Amino acid sequence: MTEQANRPDLTKLTLTLYWGNILLGLTLPWVVRIAHEVYTNHVSVISASQSLRRQLFAPGYNLFLVGAMNAVPFVIFALFVLLHLGRAHLCEPPTIPRRIGGVLGGAATLLGVSLWAHIGTVAYPDAQGALVYFFLPFYLLALIPLGYAVGRRLGRG
């Protein structure tokens, strides 16, 4: 495949990962909350969504702040994706799959750790559970390079 034929696909992938990371980072806590309520309380998705809407800015819940705090590492990673993959077409052709693998590894790490933390916090609430929401962005930011390195190593194949 030539460089010119590969460029539109790479641009589409870059923009999809960019906007997908931002959207996923903001909405992941809310999706986990809705899914947990549907699964444990056996209510409809509409009822769970209405409950989420009531708790979005409510004192003691403030789920909008939880989503905003969770989105910070995803937005930083999305900017990295835009800068890193946006200029990948200028690199040597063998480095493009490695860059894509690294970005996908970082995204998988962000998604996996964030999903695990939110499911654990929602499923087993306690008084100190809210501390997870404060420390999670720092943990996610620290794990991005690890996920990128593993993905880049696997992308060599």
For 101-122, what is the mean pLDDT? 95
| pLDDT of 3 above 60 | no
Q: In the predicted model, is pLDDT for residue 152 greater than 70?
A: yes
Split at pLDDT 50, 70, 90, the class of 6 is low
CB 26 within 8 A of CB 67: yes
Q: What percent of the chain has pLDDT over 70?
A: 96
Task: Please state, as a whole number, how many other Cβ atoms lie within 10 Å of the Cβ of residue 57.
Answer: 11
Q: What are the residue boundaries of the structural domains of the chain, listed by start? A: 3-154
pLDDT at 8: 76
Is-contact 26 64, C-beta < 8 A?
no
- The mean per-residue pLDDT over the stretch 37-57 comes to 93
Report the pLDDT value the prediction gives residue 96, as an integer from 0 to 100. 86
Report the distance separating Cα 57 and Cα 25, nearest Å: 18
